[in-house]
A = this chain, B = another copy of it.
Amino acid sequence: MDADSRLSRWIARTEIPLFVASLVFLGSYTVHVLARGLPDGWRAFWLAVIFATWALFVLDYVVRWRLGGHPLRPSYLRHHLLDTVVVALPLLRPLRMVRLYDAVQARLDRPLLSLYSRVIAYAGVSAVLLGFAGALAVYQLERDAPGSTIRTFGDSVWWACSTLSTVGFGDVTPVTAGGRTIASFMMFGGLALLGAVTGAFSSWLIQIFTRDDERPPAR
């Protein structure tokens, strides 16, 4: 219980700073990829910010691993799985905002959003984040590759939209091994996220109409 409460206190205190750090990481990576004409001093500065925030995430991961008293509980492992993924791929770190929402809600008495709105909001924000991070990473890998069709960041965002919606026009596509690997994860991740949005939207629509239909007694 002692370890648990120390872990809880650690998480409660670091939640907000680490969320800010994850936004700083995303922002500095964006600057690093998109601002190619920067003077060398600024490039080094942004690279330093990227590695410093990453170091923060690794530190947080190690501290929580040491403080975590019961690492074999299923719920702990599940949270740990997401944590491990976001330490390895810190661009996806803002996905942990689910915990931030829980932290905010814990101080209120009732949920801020209804059931379906929350599913749609989480999945929608995750899709936007996944698309933006994927477009950045693919753009960095593809822009100078021979035979590439993704020459500008606009191309990359357009490609990410057509990939995440599973439309897949194929007018611009990655050609490097790295770009295709990221693209494959985006295809399946996006499919899962959008399946959640679609399922929640469809359930909500049906629930709304069911409630409307049940109201009149004569049916």
A contact set with B: CB distance below 8 Å: 109-111, 115, 118-119, 123, 154, 158, 161-163, 165-171, 173, 177, 180, 183-184, 187-188, 191-192, 194-203, 205-206, 209-210, 212-213, 216, 218-219
Contact = CB atoms under 8 A, between A and B. Distances in A.
B167 A205 contact: no
Nearest to A187: B165
B166 A169 contact: no
A165 B191 contact: yes
A169 to B, nearest CB: 4
11 contacts: A111-B216, A115-B213, A123-B205, A154-B177, A158-B183, A162-B187, A165-B166, A170-B171, A192-B198, A195-B197, A198-B202
Given A166-B166, A199-B205, A200-B205, 9 more contacts: A110-B216, A110-B219, A115-B206, A154-B180, A165-B187, A166-B191, A167-B167, A192-B201, A198-B202
A216 B105 CA distance: 12
